[in-house]
Amino acid sequence: MNILARAAEAIILDKGHYIIKKRIKKGYRIKNLDIKLRKERTNLEYKLITRARRIGVNVPSLMDKNTYEIRMEKIGGSAVKNILNKKNLEFIAKEIGRQLACLHKYDIVHGDLTTSNMIFFNNKVYFIDFGLGYFSQRIEDKATDLYLLKQAVMSKHAKFFNTFFNLIIKEYKKNYDDSENVLKRLETIEKRRRYTI
């Protein structure tokens, strides 16, 4: 079997035109917890991707699933983390902002918004890995989502941070009516962390 990627909690098997995301057993945690987490996350991820696709966000199309595996379309291109540069920065930021607004409008919280989980392909930004996502109407959860994105961009793309993140937010605001509350909450979350004044 051809392993395309080995993520923290799953392996991605390459099957040519499609991939299998398989949640692997983790020896460090007890069996009950391990089975529970893998099952729940596989189920939930399937639902989240289905919903995201229905509302027009670029995600891989799904084929089927069983207990710990999801089969889905293989998306070419490369992770935004690896290809972000001065030229494509604006386009990618806007695409991220617009689609993230859409996800949040329909109460989908991605849960792991890093630039490794966004793929640039055919002039589109695809969101992948909804493994830590969930449905929620809470402002707090959506703000946490943005907070994680901010942290990830800050740590991985320190050079572009200001321009890149501001563009994302600008586009996010434009496309999501409740964005003001979310952004306000984002500030609160940042103040709540340890060692902030």
Partner 1 sequence: MIVLGIESTAHTFGIGIFDSEKNKILSNVKHMFKPPLGIGMLPREASEHHYKICDKILKEALNEARIKPQDIDLISFAQGPGLGACLRIGASVARFLSLELKKPLVGVNHCIAHLEVAKITTPAKDPIMLYVSGGNTQIIAFDEGKYRVFGETQDIPVGNLFDVFARNAGLPMPGGPVIEKLALKGRKYLSLPYAVKGMDVSFSGILTSATKMLQKEKLNDICFSLQETAFSMLVEVSERAMAHCNKKELVLAGGVAANKRLREMCKIMCKERGAKFFVPEFQYCCDNGAMIAVLGAIEYDAGVETKIKESKIKTKWRTNEVEVKWV
Active site residues: 112
The dihedral built from the CA positions of residue 25, 31, 37 and 38, taken in this order, carries a sign that is positive
Alpha carbon of 87 to those of 35, 58, 90, 91: distances in Å?
Answer: 44, 22, 7, 8
* Residue 174 C-beta: closest distance to partner 1, Å: 25
- Tell me, what DSSP letter sits at residue 117? G
Under 8 Å between Cβ of 113 and 99: no
Nearer to partner 1, 67 or 188 (CB): 188
* Residue 184 C-beta: closest distance to partner 1, Å: 17
* Residue 116 C-beta: closest distance to partner 1, Å: 6
Nearer to partner 1, 25 or 124 (CB): 25
What's the Rg (C-alpha) of the chain?
Answer: 17
**The amino acid at 193:** R
* Residue 13 C-beta: closest distance to partner 1, Å: 17
Under 8 Å between Cβ of 38 and 21: no
45: contact with partner 1 by CB under 8 A: no
113: contact with partner 1 by CB under 8 A: yes
179: contact with partner 1 by CB under 8 A: no
Structure tokens at 35: 């089975």
7: contact with partner 1 by CB under 8 A: yes
Give the binding site for partner 1 (CB under 8 A). Answer: 6-9, 26-30, 32-33, 36-37, 111-114, 116, 132, 144, 148, 151-152, 154-156, 158, 189, 192-197
